[in-house]
Amino acid sequence: MAELATARLGSAGYERYEISSYARSGFAARHNLSYWDGSDYLGLGAGAHSFSQEPAPGVRSTNERLPERYLAAVGTTGTAVASVERLTEATARAEFCFTGLRQTVGIDVASFHRRFGTELAAAFPHVSDLIGDGLLDLAAGRLRLTPRGLAFADTVSATFV
């Protein structure tokens, strides 16, 4: 079924840019892509989520979910942040990989090194096995799911957790 959907969308001019998203060239959802490439984002309003790479290795926060609690908190303290999660190095590395693999362009290996100060292959030695099994491909400095890997994307991603 997935192959049929991909073929039909392709013949209609849509390109697959992430596991479950297709768009015409130049119209990929930048909003989604910022989540998958590890970019910072600021959530505004009740229930909104934010992420920042600083302080390293990353911080995630969530605002009050209920509008009345959100408004009361902003009125009282000037902020409505209800929870803050400081990521561990291991969690940040894993998330960078399994979210990056959602994109058909995959993970920029040099970006991993710049962000974490270590080679991706050293942090995740099992990557060579996934390449050998035909689930991942490493080319032009990018690690991405192969067509076979796309069919097993959840299983591949789980190996990074």
The domain locations on the chain are 49-87, 90-158
Provide DSSP, 124-136: -TTHHHHHHTTSE
pLDDT at 32: 84
Find where tokens 């990018």 sit. 142
pLDDT at 1: 75
90-158 is classed CATH 1.10.10.10:
yes
pLDDT tens per residue across all 161 residues of the chain: 778 988 999 999 999 999 989 999 999 998 888 888 889 999 999 999 999 999 999 999 999 999 999 999 999 999 999 999 999 999 999 999 999 999 999 999 999 999 999 999 999 999 999 999 999 999 999 999 999 999 999 999 999 99
pLDDT at 46: 98
pLDDT at 161: 92
pLDDT at 123: 98
- d(Cα 105, Cα 114) in Å, to the nearest integer? 18
Secondary structure element (H or E) that encloses residue 72, with its range: helix 67-77
pLDDT digits (tens, 9 = 90+) for 72-105: 999 999 999 999 999 999 999 999 999 999 999 9
pLDDT at 13: 95
Mean pLDDT of the chain: 95
- d(Cα 64, Cα 75) in Å, to the nearest integer? 13
- d(Cα 22, Cα 29) in Å, to the nearest integer? 9
Exposed, middle or buried: residue 47 (CB in 10 Å: 0-12, 13-18, 19+)? middle
pLDDT at 115: 94
